[in-house]
């Protein structure tokens, strides 16, 4: 791994597909997992049969996205605002723009802004009614924003919180082209500190964002990106993050070698349930790696999403991570057409992808 290597050239056509794939893939995983977010693996099998939940044809449609997709799109909007200012020749504080975006998301959840928080004028995303639903938002995301204080790494608002709310919203940092990996890492960790303070919450988000960034080149491989993620986790100084990612890669290798079969029970024993940051990242990465022999990119996406959904834990967050990873790896073309048509926020996701593309590659 070399964070200081020359930045690879960005092919606009490939990049467009990868941005759309990453955001849509995350939304698809989120919507599929949200249907069973609080169900046990046993409960999922009782509802959907021995194979569990494997597709949207088993659900009432349109399938709603959760706070995971909502906050991911507000991360996009914060970055878009920073780049709009930059493209006009005006410097802007990227973390402050993200904070303002998240405060506007807070209002969509029916919360009044604290009196000490700035109230920014609405932007396009704020008028999208499909995002104005309260769908089990994370406690730390809410409580951190409700303080009215802009959390920082030196002055966190929730110093002990390591919930997965930082990871599930952080893929967009990795979609910034012409930016070094260490800069992506910093942006993501700073953005995570707006609501969470535990080192694992910050570094899990940053490792995830840089994994997404590693998958932007047209010749990127999932295995190389995963190896880089393990190295960054080891260098983060957060033991539980390093341990979970090492376990994810090892478990996936065993499955692919035929030494074991994927199961919710083995997943839980090795990687946890996904409610905290390092577990959500580990499960999402494991599901993508363990199903790499599925066949076509679309088959890989379907199989990985199902593996990321069918377990005891935070199914929407883990599957959204898997969807982000495979979406950026393969691009928009690998997303199942009937799945894309099944979710309630597809149009909004696509428009936010275009907004990010408009300020990056035009």
Any domain includes 213: yes
Which residues have C-beta within 8 Å of that of residue 297, sequence separation ≥ 6?
326, 329, 330, 333, 334
Instruction: Name which of 37, 319, 42, 361 is nearest 167 in CA terms.
Output: 319
Structure tokens at 125: 């995303």
Separation between Cα atoms, residue 304 and residue 306, nearest integer Å: 5
Backbone angles phi, psi at 343, to 5 degrees: -95, 155
Mean pLDDT by 10 residues, the chain (362 residues): 54 92 98 97 97 98 98 98 94 95 98 93 97 96 97 94 98 96 97 98 98 96 98 98 98 94 93 98 98 96 98 97 98 98 98 97 87
Cα–Cα distance list, 74 to 11, 23, 93, 157 (Å): 26, 12, 16, 20
Q: How many CB atoms lie within 10 A of CB 91?
A: 8
Overall residue count recorded for the chain in this entry: 362
Q: Domain range spanning residue 349?
A: 18-360
Cα–Cα distance list, 63 to 66, 223, 345 (Å): 10, 31, 9
Biggest CA-to-CA distance, the chain:
58
Separation between Cα atoms, residue 209 and residue 185, nearest integer Å: 7
Q: Any idea what the CATH number is for the domain that residue 171 is in? A: 1.10.4080.10
CA dihedral 79, 83, 84, 89 (to 10 degrees): 150
Any domain includes 10: no
Separation between Cα atoms, residue 223 and residue 229, nearest integer Å: 10
Q: How many CB atoms lie within 10 A of CB 193?
A: 26
Secondary structure class of 173 (helix, strand, coil): helix
pLDDT for 9 equals 67
Any domain includes 229: yes
pLDDT for 120 equals 86
Secondary structure class of 168 (helix, strand, coil): coil
Separation between Cα atoms, residue 60 and residue 198, nearest integer Å: 38
Which residues have C-beta within 8 Å of that of residue 104, sequence separation ≥ 6?
74, 120, 122, 123, 125, 126
Any domain includes 5: no
Any domain includes 11: no
Instruction: Name which of 299, 305, 259 is nearest 286 in CA terms.
Output: 305
Any domain includes 2: no
pLDDT for 2 equals 41
Count how many domains the chain has. Answer: 1
Backbone angles phi, psi at 88, to 5 degrees: -90, 5
Which 8-state DSSP code applies to residue 118? -
CA dihedral 79, 85, 91, 92 (to 10 degrees): -40
**DSSP assignment of 241-260, as one string?**
HHHHHHHHHHHHHHHHTTSS
Any domain includes 76: yes
Cα–Cα distance list, 333 to 78, 237, 321, 328 (Å): 27, 38, 18, 11
Any domain includes 234: yes
């Amino acid at each position: 791994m070399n964070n200081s290597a020359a930045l690879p050239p960005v092919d606009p056509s490939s990049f467009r597909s990868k941005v759309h794939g990453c955001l849509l893939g995350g939304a698809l995983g989120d919507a599929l997992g949200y249907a069973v977010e609080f169900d046990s693996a046993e409960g999922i099998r009782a509802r959907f049969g021995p194979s569990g939940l494997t597709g949207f044809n088993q659900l009432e449609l349109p399938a709603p996205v959760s706070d995971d997709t909502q906050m991911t799109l507000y991360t996009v909007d914060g970055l878009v605002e920073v780049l709009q200012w930059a493209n006009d020749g005006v410097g802007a504080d990227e973390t402050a723009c993200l904070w303002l975006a998240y405060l506007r998301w807070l209002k969509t959840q029916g919360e009044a802004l604290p009196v000490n928080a700035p109230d920014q004028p609405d932007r396009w995303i704020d008028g999208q009614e499909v995002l104005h639903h309260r769908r089990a938002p994370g406690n730390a995301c809410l409580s951190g924003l409700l303080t009215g204080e802009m959390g920082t790494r030196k002055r966190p608002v929730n110093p002990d919180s390591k919930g997965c709310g930082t990871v599930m919203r952080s893929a967009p940092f990795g979609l910034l082209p012409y930016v070094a990996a260490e800069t992506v890492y910093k942006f993501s960790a700073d953005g995570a500190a707006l609501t969470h303070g535990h080192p694992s919450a910050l570094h899990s988000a940053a490792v995830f964002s840089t994994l997404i960034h590693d998958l932007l080149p047209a010749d990127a491989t999932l295995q190389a990106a995963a190896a880089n993620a393990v190295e960054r986790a080891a260098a983060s100084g957060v033991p539980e993050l390093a341990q979970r990612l090492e376990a994810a890669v090892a478990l996936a290798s065993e499955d692919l070698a035929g030494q074991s079969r994927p199961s919710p029970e083995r997943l839980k024993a090795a990687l946890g349930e996904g409610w905290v940051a390092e577990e959500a990242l580990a499960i999402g990465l494991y599901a993508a790696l363990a199903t790499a022999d599925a066949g076509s990119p679309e088959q890989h996406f379907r199989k990985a999403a199902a593996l990321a959904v069918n377990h005891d834990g935070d199914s929407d967050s883990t599957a959204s991570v898997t969807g982000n990873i495979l979406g950026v790896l393969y691009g928009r073309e690998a997303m199942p057409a009937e799945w894309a048509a099944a979710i309630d926020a597809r149009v909004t996701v696509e428009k936010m992808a275009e907004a990010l593309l408009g300020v990056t590659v035009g």
